[in-house]
Chain A
């Protein structure tokens, strides 16, 4: 099996997997970073969202050989001690229910705010449109993104 060197949360990691292995399964099964979740395998639900080169991407549809050039940020690497403003806002508003989609939601929110620190409600809706929550935490997510934006302002 070929081996690949990835940069995950700013650390270089080498894995031996087939070239067509999605990043999701490299993170989960090879590197033990299970915060990134499997939901659909088709880039439809957003549970597997990670940052690659600063963009929110669906790790279930990106093969390992296509993510070798830049840093991959997973939920585990978003901050030290949950101190990212998005995580802080999420905790203040007690957002999760089952929690399974939340890593993907948080990564999407953090990416949105990194590009647009003061999004309108419409921009939040658009920026978060790729992430499904089955429990219905959407209203709190929207509020938490706004709260995180206000924290970034401070």
Chain B
């Protein structure tokens, strides 16, 4: 496969002082649809050292999704590097790397061609250098194990011996990708980089950073959303051994909501600066703060969900296909159901923390962030800094799941460091972490279907009502976001379809949570389809396949269409793998759900046993995934395992409730997470094909929720229309 580059000068080869060949890639030029930056900047993605070691840059933050391994693997593959002599180097945040945020399952989708192009370009240069040196035609060479290999004579030249020649080669304008069937790294189980450090305590997370002169801080924030500080007495806190200072974090003093949508929204509180984390925690406990809650709506869960229900008839139409009213008039029958999904916290294992050294108008940040772009933007707006006054390091992150898309904790730290003129490590307690999350929005969802005389859907109306994470100013209003998107399943599959959104204002801070809207919307959609199957006395998978219709490309929105055949294939495979058609003992049941997400297709079957006390034991999960080429099977499987378990945990236990304007949960005793004994065996298969790889971080999660609920129905005859399952 040839990739012709219309733009020249998108790669630059230089030889460093130590004699290493550094390939700088102008990443924006590799993306044909993007406008070129005015100044060409080259990101040093590949460095070939004189001792044969190759350094590859991992450009995106590692949050546990495996990109620190997977992206360099793609580079190494096209280059023909020996993976055993590759050192992966984590990039800092820098505009030369173009996009560095982690989210939306996009890392592989956005970087596949980019990494291939960069790797292939350097391979071609090395081959040309070898061809010149050996005076043999370029067509007769390949690269392998960090060597250029002459296929006819078996002669080899190691990369490091070609540095001088390669740096003189005019750069190619056309790159040719390796045929996928010749891959030697991509598609292999490659143990993640950092593995040895992760099992011996040596991997450095943001929370582990220690700087000279650094002080420690924690913050006590008003648990009530939109609340402020009225006054505080810090006399006792200051008496705690090790406490250095007490500083109020005042929203208004730092621009309040100035930063706009998806930017940090400060919560007022009081910070304790100390000479150890423990002293700061102890100091915070001794603070006596009078909170000002005059600005709070003093919301509670019951009242919020009543408002969501009340909003169902008052909506905006997000998508309209055909005419649902007409479908209703000619329907043989109809069916509707209302579902409720709760607010959820992220509860990353590593609580929110950040280290900032903000002195002399230079702001150096070690941030566990998924979104360095937003962090830089926030620092620029808040302190009037220039980009060159900000340096953001991207250490390993102890879980993100969407929480670290928001940078509030990092902004707090920068404020404190600037104020006291020393490096500060801010650590939130778990309690602060859960009480000051950007929660997955809870919602009420109503689905109504018109059915023909065979029980198949002719009209589909899905109404979702809630407070939206896309409405940045939940309190003041502003443009309403939507939590139901025009491409939501089953858009494109039903001739008469309407997706509607009812918007409610709330104080609750809302944000992205793994799989975002699908984490909430897959549950009603796929439980509803299961209900329709049973209503028509049909097998759930048979009904779903009939619902999908023939193999075809279905236009969904814009130039995005979906290949129904790929979904059918994973469904049929999971049916077989899970033993779907074999009987189960009494008290056991299987549930199914399948959908598309981030370009991947996934079908899941959950098998449960429910005892006479209604206690559910998940016995087994089967999943079949088509995500195109699997870059690193070990890492890909981990994403599927993790996504499924996160879906199951959330379905069973996940719930943040609101009382008097604050989250009621605060730690793992009341925000429950699954433990080892509850975890079923998970069987995963990937469909093998040569299609470009698509996202995997999110797609496995949403189907697990309805598959579990449907399994419980199959076992008990009891429908679940409200989550969580275990109260």
Contact = CB atoms under 8 A, between A and B. Distances in A.
A22 to B, nearest CB: 7
Contacts of B645: 136, 138-139
B199 A136 contact: no
Interface in B417-434: 427, 429-430
B646 interface: yes
B246 to A, nearest CB: 18
A103 interface: yes
Given A125-B677, A134-B347, A135-B399, A97 B642 contact: yes
A16 B638 CA distance: 43
Contact of B278 (A25, A35, A94, A133): A25
Given A91-B196, A135-B399, A136-B641, A39 B349 contact: yes
A106 B242 CA distance: 33
Interface residues of A, number: 62
Contacts of B674: 138
Contacts of B249: none
Contacts of B64: 96-100, 135
Interface in B177-208: 189, 191-192, 194-196, 198-205, 207-208
A71 interface: no
Nearest to B673: A132
Contact of B430 (A39, A102, A126, A131): A39
Contacts of A40: 430, 667-668
A72 interface: no
A129 interface: yes
A117 interface: no
B192 A32 contact: no
Contact of B682 (A1, A34, A126, A139): A139
Given A42-B667, A82-B200, A100 B399 contact: yes
Interface in B396-452: 396-401, 427, 429-430
Contact of A45 (B208, B277, B668, B677): B668
B586 interface: no
A90 interface: yes
Interface string A25-48: 100111011111111111011010
Interface string A98-141: 11111100100000000000000010111011011111111111
Given A40-B667, A129-B676, A136-B643, A97 B201 contact: no
A66 B634 CA distance: 42
Nearest to A39: B349
Contacts of A33: 201
A61 B63 CA distance: 27
B675 interface: yes
B669 interface: yes
Nearest to B648: A136
A116 B342 CA distance: 41
Contacts of A44: 667-669
Contact of A132 (B401, B644, B668): B668
B195 A94 contact: yes
Contacts of A133: 349
A90 B256 CA distance: 46
Contacts of A22: 278
A133 B668 CA distance: 12
For the complex, would chain A's binding face be called helix, strand, loop or mixed by DSSP majority? loop
Contacts of A150: none
A69 interface: no
Contact of B199 (A20, A34, A102, A125): A102
B429 A41 contact: yes
A73 to B, nearest CB: 11
B679 interface: yes
A66 B235 CA distance: 29
A41 B218 CA distance: 14
B429 A98 contact: no
Contacts of B145: none
Contacts of B198: 96, 99, 102
Interface string B266-277: 000000000011
Q: Which of A34, A106, A142 has the most CB of B within 10 A?
A: A34
A51 interface: no
Nearest to A97: B64
B277 A141 contact: no
Interface string B286-329: 00000000000000000000000000000000000000000000
B423 to A, nearest CB: 14
A62 B526 CA distance: 47
Contact of B398 (A1, A99, A106, A124): A99
A35 B199 CA distance: 9
A18 to B, nearest CB: 5
A122 B643 CA distance: 24
A37 B349 CA distance: 9
Q: Which of A32, A38, A90, A122 has the most CB of B within 10 A?
A: A38
B350 interface: yes
Contacts of A128: 675-676
Interface in B667-696: 667-669, 673-677, 679, 681-682
Nearest to A143: B681
A76 interface: yes
A21 interface: yes
A75 interface: yes
B277 A25 contact: yes
24 contacts: A18-B242, A25-B278, A34-B208, A35-B202, A36-B201, A37-B350, A39-B350, A40-B430, A41-B429, A42-B669, A45-B668, A75-B201, A87-B200, A90-B199, A94-B635, A95-B199, A98-B348, A99-B198, A100-B350, A129-B675, A133-B349, A134-B349, A136-B644, A139-B682
The 7 closest A-B pairs by CB, nearest first: A35-B201, A98-B64, A100-B398, A136-B645, A136-B642, A75-B201, A125-B677
Given A18-B241, A29-B276, 17 more contacts: A21-B276, A21-B278, A34-B205, A34-B207, A37-B350, A76-B202, A82-B196, A94-B195, A94-B634, A96-B198, A98-B349, A98-B396, A132-B673, A135-B399, A139-B645, A139-B679, A139-B681
